[in-house]
Structure 1
Amino acid sequence: MTPLLKLVKKQDTISLIILILLIPVVTRLSKRINFIYILLTSNYVTLILNITYLVIMYKKVMVINGINHTLILRQGYKNTKHNIYAFMILTTLLFLAILYGFLFLVYGISQMSIKLLLMLVIYTLIFLFEISIIYLQFNRKSNILYIALPIIINLVYHYMFF
Structure 2
Amino acid sequence: MNPLFKLIKKQDTISLIILILLIPIVTRLSKRVNFIYILLTSNYITLILNIACLVLIYKKIMIINGINHTLITRMGYKNTQQTTYSFMIIITLSFLIILYGFLFLIYGISHMNIKLLLMLVIYTFLYLFEISIIYLQFNRKSNILYIALPIIINLAYHYMFF
Q: Tell me the TM-score normalised to structure 2 length.
A: 0.99
Question: Could you say which residue in structure 1 is the equivalent of 2:85?
Answer: 85
Deviations 1:60-105 (A, max 9, x none): 0000000000000000000000000000001100100000000000
Contact 2:31 2:106 in 1 (8 A): no
Q: Give 5+ residue unaligned stretches, structure 2.
A: none
Runs of 4 or more, structure 1, over 6 Å off, are none
Tell me, yes or no, if structure 1 residue 28 matches structure 2 residue 28. yes
Aligned residue pairs total 162
Distance, in Å, in 2 between the alignment partners of 1:30 and 1:101 is 17
Question: Could you say which residue in structure 2 is the equivalent of 1:75?
Answer: 75
Q: Secondary structure at the match of 2:8?
A: coil
Contact 2:31 2:107 in 1 (8 A): no
Tell me, yes or no, if structure 1 residue 95 matches structure 2 residue 95. yes
Question: Could you say which residue in structure 1 is the equivalent of 2:38?
Answer: 38
Distance, in Å, in 1 between the alignment partners of 2:44 and 2:51 is 10
Q: Give 5+ residue unaligned stretches, structure 1.
A: none
Q: For 1:39, give the aligned amino acid.
A: L
Question: Could you say which residue in structure 1 is the equivalent of 2:107?
Answer: 107
**RMSD value, Cα:** 0.8
Distance, in Å, in 1 between the alignment partners of 2:31 and 2:70 is 54
Question: Could you say which residue in structure 1 is the equivalent of 2:3?
Answer: 3
- Percent identity between matched residues is 81
Question: Could you say which residue in structure 2 is the equivalent of 1:19?
Answer: 19
In the TM superposition, residue 30 of structure 1 has moved relative to its aligned partner by 3.7
Distance, in Å, in 2 between the alignment partners of 1:89 and 1:151 is 17
Distance, in Å, in 2 between the alignment partners of 1:94 and 1:134 is 17
Q: Tell me the TM-score normalised to structure 1 length.
A: 0.99
Distance, in Å, in 2 between the alignment partners of 1:131 and 1:45 is 16
Distance, in Å, in 1 between the alignment partners of 2:31 and 2:6 is 42
Q: Secondary structure at the match of 1:143?
A: coil
Distance, in Å, in 2 between the alignment partners of 1:67 and 1:29 is 45
